[in-house]
Amino acid sequence: MTDILIFILATLGALFAMLAAIGILRMPDTLLRISVTTKAATLGIGLILGAAALYFGDLAVSSRVQAIIIFIVLTAPVGAHLIGRTSYFTGNELWKKSVIDDLKGKYDIKKHELQSEDAQKLHRKEKQKKEDDDRKNAKEENTW
Amino acid sequence: MSLHDYLYFVILPILAISSLAVFVRFVKGPTIVDRIVAFDLIVTLGIAEIAIYSIIYDKPTFLDIATILALIAFLGTVAFAYYLEKRNKKDD
């Protein structure tokens, strides 16, 4: 009975790992590659480690396996987000068939901060305001 | 077909071919970010291979190495992302 379960878990895990490998080879741009590998690899590794825990059937081993799985599930999204952010800043182009880029113009390239409004428009608005204030001040000085 | 034969002759080759495919992307990768992602995936596949080996040779001690490998993979990704972003900041 345990053997059959190990068979199934190991096969599914290997299949998901293979899907991740095919995905990283075939996907057309960096962000899509990141998305494919993170999800598929996490599930594949979890299933294979689960097969190992079933095989040994020991509390020491299964707690170790649990620690690895929790660690991977926690760190894989964090790592993917960090590397995706870096990829956006280093100016990787999206796939030419991508429909929308939600972050376009919203990152302040110099400060690396995200704004809800278009960063360049914001700069322009501030400049305009400054000029208006200057003009007003000049007018007031003239009237005196 | 016993469990050991199945793991040795089916699962391990699948993982090995997957590693090879990822390695192709590691060599080819147009940008450095692609290479970092591929490296991360190679290490993750290494964890899976270690788990299968620990079943085949009946040695649960191998799983400790898998833990350390998972730690190092995450640390490497974070460090690479951090310094690449810093390098780009300096260029502006």
B contacts of A13 (beta carbons < 8 Å): 48
A contacts of B52 (beta carbons < 8 Å): 10, 48, 52
Nearest CA in chain A to B33: A87
What pTM does this model have? 0.83
Q: Does residue A88 lie within any of the structural domains? A: yes
Q: Do B85 and A89 touch (CB under 8 A)?
A: yes
Write the pLDDT tens digit of every residue in A88-112: 888 777 777 778 877 777 777 666 7
| For residue A133, pLDDT beyond 60 | yes
**Surface-to-core class of residue A88, CB atoms within 10 Å of its CB (0-12 exposed, 13-18 middle, 19+ buried):** middle
CATH of the domain at A10: 1.10.287
Same-domain status, A119 and A74 = no
Q: Which backbone phi and psi does A108 adopt, to 5 degrees?
A: -75, 110
Mean pLDDT of A54-67: 92
- Give the domain range for residue A18: 1-93
CA-to-CA distance for B22 and A17, rounded, in angstroms?
11
Same-domain status, A83 and A110 = no
Average pLDDT, chain A: 85
CA-to-CA distance for A37 and B51, rounded, in angstroms?
19
Same-domain status, A85 and A122 = no
Q: Does residue A38 lie within any of the structural domains? A: yes
Q: Do A6 and B3 touch (CB under 8 A)?
A: yes
Using DSSP's 3-state secondary structure scheme, residue A108 falls into strand
Same-domain status, A61 and A111 = no
Write the pLDDT tens digit of every residue in B16-58: 999 999 999 999 878 889 999 999 999 999 999 999 999 999 9
CA-to-CA distance for A12 and A9, rounded, in angstroms?
5
Question: Nearest to residue A9, comparing CAs of A45, A35, A39?
Answer: A45
A contacts of B7 (beta carbons < 8 Å): 10
B contacts of A31 (beta carbons < 8 Å): none
Contact A70, A97 (CB under 8 A): no
Q: Does residue A99 lie within any of the structural domains? A: no
Alpha carbon of A143: minimum distance to chain B alpha carbons (Å): 44
* pLDDT value, residue B89: 63
Same-domain status, A85 and A138 = no
Q: Does residue A100 lie within any of the structural domains? A: no
Task: ipTM value, please give it.
Answer: 0.88
Alpha carbon of B77: minimum distance to chain A alpha carbons (Å): 6
Q: Do B34 and A33 touch (CB under 8 A)?
A: yes
Alpha carbon of B65: minimum distance to chain A alpha carbons (Å): 10
Q: Does residue A24 lie within any of the structural domains? A: yes
Contacts of B8 (CB under 8 A, 6+ apart): B56
Contact B22, A25 (CB under 8 A): yes
Number of structural domains found in chain A: 2
Same-domain status, A71 and A142 = no
Taking the CB of residue B88, how many other CB atoms lie within 10 A of it? 15
